[in-house]
A and B are shown apart, each in its own frame.
Chain A
Amino acid sequence: MTTLTDPPKAGFRLSQLIYDTRYRSITIQTVAMILLVLGLYWLVNNTIQNLSALGKDFDFGFLSQPAGYDINQRLVEYTSQSTHGRAAIVGILNTMLIAVLGCALATVLGVVIGVLRLSKNWVVSRLMAIYVEGFRNVPLLLWIIAIFALMTEGTPAPREFKVGGDASMILNESVAITNRGVYIPGIVLENGWAASAFMNWMIIAAVLVASLFAIRAVRMRANAVQEKSGDRPTTWYQQLALLFVPTGIVMFLMGATMQFPALKGFNFSDGIHLRNSLIALWLALSLYTAAFIAEIVRAGILAISKGQTEAAAALGIRPARTMNLVILPQAMRVIVPPLISQYLNLTKNSSLAIAVGYMDVRSTLGGITINQTGRELEGMLMMAAFYLVLSLLISGVMNVYNNRTQLKER
């Protein structure tokens, strides 16, 4: 027996590809696929033609050739005899350095400013609003150049620091701010265990990380005890000891000594030299991003309804613990995803280093190396791939966090 609702049994007609919703999606996707493949073919074909017309090939061999240029700011050993690949790594590390420094300072500033902007104090909140609007509405590049100009034009030359000169060092003769950069005290390892200073610092970092894990273990044990008995053992002195003692011992064994900057001739030597390019880029990135982070923090705190605070008070929880146990965990869920996307922005914005001559990956791999070898295509591809991988990694971390903290509703 046939009913009216039975689909027609007629065979497949070609027009169904367009009019029948069952097949139409396949048609559309096929068309899209064909267009995509054609487009890609067109691009690749053009590239091959153009490359061959210029007599170039597609080859990453240049990475193992000597670079022949100097990099004044480096975290690992590098000389002008090193390879282009090494130069790229130095650049990548510099990018990471500025990103980490910038994220740290921007977070601190941003949180302080965001909280202060919510303050009931009219003067303070207005001041913070001016800060946020001022930094958000003016291009970052202008801030970078302005701060760089301030650092190079507004500070004294090293020779002014001589006896009888106009300038003097600050913080008990330990920090010198000059127009060639800022000189701060550094720690020197006199008899390190590994061959290079970098490796020695890596060992210390490893010890520090191990101590952090130990602290975590102490905390977890304290939690377990609290779960069982209801009393939390006092552990802060254990945590402090774990944090400082092992690292301190290792550094002492390596013969760590403080080295203060001192004027030798017309320039400072010893200590750590932070170049103006680094400082200007770091400050500008941090101040600029802090304005955005402040808004994120403010929105996050405002997003928690007042009922939460009141309910906590009704339960008899003290204000400080209310903040720690009730408000912050909920606000963090709102704050962290855009915060991480700001970190991502900061990292990408660090490519503006070109404005002040800071040697990040764009200046080494994407700048001098490309100019010297004429490998635009390979260089740009590698650089884009680096930024892309970095972004995907960070957003991957963000997704994990989101999934873990998401409200399980519906």
Chain B
Amino acid sequence: MNETHSKTVSYVRDTMLPEQAPPVSQAGAVKWVRENLFSSWLNILLTLIALYVVYFALSLVLPWAFGGVWNAGSLTECREVLFSFYKGSHDGACWAVIEDRWLQLLFGFYPPELYWRPILAFALFFVAIAPVLFADKVPSQLIWFTFAYPFLAAWLIWGGSFWTPILVALGFVVAVVAYKILAKLTGPILANVGALIAALLWWGVIMGPISDGLHKMVGSSRFDATLADLNQQAEDLPVELAALETQAEEKGAEIGAAVEEKNALLVEMAEIRVEEFVLAEQIEPKETAVQRLDGAEETVAKIEDLLGEWGGVPSAADGATEAEIAEAEAASSQLTGYIGDVNSLLSGALSDIADNTADPADVAALMVRGSMDEDPSIRSDFDAMVSLSGLTDPIAALVDQSAGLSETTSASDFAAIRADIGTAAATVDADIATLNRITDKVIGTNAADLEAPQAALLAKMAELTALRDEQTVIAQADFRISSLQTENRGLLNALNTLEAREASVPMLQDAAAGYRALLPRDQRNMISISQLPEGSSSEEEAGLTTYLAAEQQAKSVAASVRDTYSNLGRIGLAPIDSRQIGGFMLALIIGIAGIVLSLPLGVLLALGRQSHLFIVNKICVVFIEVIRGVPLIVWLFTASLLLNYFLPPGTNFDLMLRVIIMVTLFSAAYIAEVIRGGLAALPTGQYEGADSLGLSYWQSMQLIVLPQAMKISIPGIVNTFIGLFKDTVLVVFIGLLDPIGLSQAIRSSTDWNGIYWELFVFIGLLFFIFCYSMGRYSQHLEKKLQREHR
């Protein structure tokens, strides 16, 4: 320590002070709030507005969502339950519609007993995409499953014989084999063309007969067994059906009884509430009366304004122009009109009260459920109320007074009347306030009594829901068995006639060929009688008609034989019609198929658009721009309305398949543009480097260019996918039952007529979950693939 200082300074600190905690305003949550939420006036304002918006939204949504009803069979029952709790003061969600219909919203009209098939397909989807999305975490052999998955999924969802997907998949094998062989002989270009032709030949010409042959083989071998089985079932099924019908009847009786009990509970509650209803009946007309009195007061004010404006009765001065006279007349008639309004409003108010309400003493006499005994203050409230005549007399006086009103009444009289009306309205208002107070008290005394029936009602609703679920199961079983019965009858019939039909096919074909030979050469390829040139003779028409009919018959009989065999010889899953597929499952099928198919097509289009080959480039440009320039909905209508024009006469294929094709083409064009951006963003050095290594075009694309370009384009590609997935709901406009279409169907049923928000919330949440997770995954992928140092 310094000596000098010890003399001049009385005290010198020789140790460090311990570090103090920062001030409260500069640390922790307070600092964060100050800096982030309240740093400036603008910020404070923004924070307050934002908090208010959040509060407002939550105060609307939360009570609605959490005060909802989960057990009810219809919107009416929902309202009954809500009313029994809140007496109409609270609007709760009717989630019962979701409870009732969620399977339909997910699966459409897919047979319930077969739900396991789409569910399994959906679960396997995650196994199939694992090697693509998480290539570093799963064994690489799994990629073979990914290749097999589309065929497996299609088979699971649509059903049919197990060899159909295998035969389709074999087409790709055929293409690969053809390419391998031809590549050695002729080089890659011709090999590509050859592979394409081979695959098309396989699918178009060879596959069908093989499948038919297999069906025929299996079918013939089990013909007798199936026939016996069908006959046996024809005896068994009616018994089962009868049993189910008895069950359904019993269940219906049970439900009927439960509904009765529920209604009894509702009546019980209404009886408990009878005093509340009595009071409500008093309040309602009085409120109307107050509104009318207010209206009358306003009108009188208007009269005063008018009189003030004209300085008395509106009249034109001597020598006034025509316009001025007209103006004065208009004002005068307006005045008359106002006076009439006041008259009618006042007498309306009088009759509201005099005709529709009762004296407080009489009302008190109606309080029969003893709330007055429980809460004596109610009686004193009634005693304090103005009697009925006390309410009506001033108004009646006003009515009389207003009858004497005329244009010439002085402004001060009007002012007096206005004041009187105001007083009368205030009296009625006070009366209403008292009644409301009494109502609140009555509700308070009733609350305890209502608890038991309310709980009982909830239990009864749960019981009813369970009963109805059981009823649905029975109805579904009934439907399944009766449709099985119809199907069996049809098959039995078909089997009995199979031999005859099969034998007749060659004869019919010969006959058609014979008719065809009779036609003039230029008419032999016609497909409709309207193609005949104008002025053709009736013989010509008759000849063509005969030929067309014969041809048609030969074809339809051959098709029916094929049909029978494919029913008889099917080894696999029960076939499902595309029309039965709907709901969110439809959106998923279209979305996933579109996504998977559009990516490779988009890559090809992007490469074509970047290509130096003039014609290829222009074809791709035109294709991309035309597709992108027109809304998807127009393309969907094209698919449903116009595709039949563009395809060979007589072709008619599945609407869902058409939609998938259109959606694929549509999003491929968008993906092509995204990838083109990625390609353009690559430095030219990458292309030149690949060339200088001597790589061929496809090698350089595959190894050097595309991996980098795709990485750059990931956000854009995923955005396109999200857009595609959301756009699948547009199929509702061409008659497919997507979730929105189903929500309309549900709304048009009598049970759920008028229900909106619950369905919208459910559908919106489903889409949100899928789209949001896709977006999140793309962000994750971007981060994982990031190679730049930032």
* Chain A residues near B (Cβ < 8 Å): 18-19, 24-25, 27-29, 31-33, 36, 43, 46-47, 49-55, 116, 119-124, 127, 133-134, 136-142, 145-146, 149, 153, 163-164, 348-349, 351-352, 354-355, 362, 366, 370, 376-377, 380, 383-384, 387-388, 390-392
How many Å lie between the Cα of A127 and that of B615 in the bound state?
Answer: 50
A387, B46: Cβ atoms closer than 8 Å? no
Query: How many Å from the CB of A179 to the closest CB on chain B?
Result: 14
Given contacts A121-B50, A137-B775, A376-B642, 20 further A-B contacts (CB under 8 A): A28-B189, A33-B615, A50-B644, A52-B528, A53-B528, A55-B530, A119-B46, A120-B35, A123-B50, A123-B54, A136-B775, A137-B767, A138-B764, A139-B727, A163-B291, A352-B730, A370-B641, A388-B625, A391-B628, A392-B629
* Residues of chain B with a CB closer than 8 A to A24's CB: 189
Interface of B, secondary structure class, is helix
Stretch in B163-171, B560-568, B631-639 with 4+ CB within 8 Å of A: B631-639
* Residues of chain A with a CB closer than 8 A to B140's CB: none
Considering the complex, give the chain A residue whose CB is closest to the CB of B733. Answer: A354
Query: Given B54, B531, B634, B772, which contacts A127 in the complex, CB threshold below 8 Å?
Result: B54
Query: Given B47, B625, B646, which contacts A121 in the complex, CB threshold below 8 Å?
Result: B47
Query: Given B190, B630, B644, B760, which contacts A145 in the complex, CB threshold below 8 Å?
Result: B760
* Residues of chain B with a CB closer than 8 A to A28's CB: 189, 613, 616
* Residues of chain A with a CB closer than 8 A to B647's CB: 46
Considering the complex, give the chain A residue whose CB is closest to the CB of B760. Answer: A146
What mask results when residues 710 to 752 of chain B are scored 1 for a CB within 8 Å of chain A, else 0? Answer: 0000000000001000110110110000001000000000000
How many Å lie between the Cα of A355 and that of B732 in the bound state?
Answer: 10
* Residues of chain A with a CB closer than 8 A to B531's CB: 52-53
Q: Say whether, besides A28-B616, A387-B631, A127 and B767 are in contact (CB < 8 Å).
A: no
Query: How many Å from the CB of B709 to the closest CB on chain A?
Result: 19
How many Å lie between the Cα of A94 and that of B37 in the bound state?
Answer: 44
List B612-631 residues whose CB lies under 8 Å from chain A.
612-616, 619, 625-626, 628-631
Q: Say whether, besides A134-B768, A348-B630, A164 and B295 are in contact (CB < 8 Å).
A: yes
* Residues of chain A with a CB closer than 8 A to B649's CB: 46, 49-50, 53
A388, B630: Cβ atoms closer than 8 Å? yes
* Residues of chain B with a CB closer than 8 A to A149's CB: 756-757, 760
Query: How many Å from the CB of A404 to the closest CB on chain B?
Result: 19
| Interface size band for B | 35 or more
How many Å lie between the Cα of A349 and that of B727 in the bound state?
Answer: 10
A137, B646: Cβ atoms closer than 8 Å? no
Q: B781 interface residue, CB < 8 Å from A?
A: no
* Residues of chain B with a CB closer than 8 A to A153's CB: 756
* Chain B residues near A (Cβ < 8 Å): 35-37, 39, 43, 46-47, 50-51, 53-54, 186-187, 189-190, 193, 288, 291-292, 295, 345, 527-528, 530-531, 612-616, 619, 625-626, 628-634, 637-638, 641-642, 644-649, 722, 726-727, 729-730, 732-733, 740, 756-757, 760, 763-764, 767-768, 771-772, 775
How many Å lie between the Cα of A33 and that of B35 in the bound state?
Answer: 66
A32, A49, A164, A384 pick with most chain B CB within 10 angstroms:
A164
* Residues of chain A with a CB closer than 8 A to B53's CB: 127
A142, B763: Cβ atoms closer than 8 Å? yes
* Residues of chain B with a CB closer than 8 A to A121's CB: 36-37, 43, 46-47, 50
Query: Given A18, A29, A390, which contacts B187 in the complex, CB threshold below 8 Å?
Result: A18
Query: How many Å from the CB of B720 to the closest CB on chain A?
Result: 12
Query: How many Å from the CB of A25 to the closest CB on chain B?
Result: 5
Considering the complex, give the chain A residue whose CB is closest to the CB of B775. Answer: A137
Query: How many Å from the CB of A113 to the closest CB on chain B?
Result: 12
B634, A123: Cβ atoms closer than 8 Å? no
Query: How many Å from the CB of B209 to the closest CB on chain A?
Result: 24
* Residues of chain A with a CB closer than 8 A to B631's CB: 348-349, 351, 362, 387
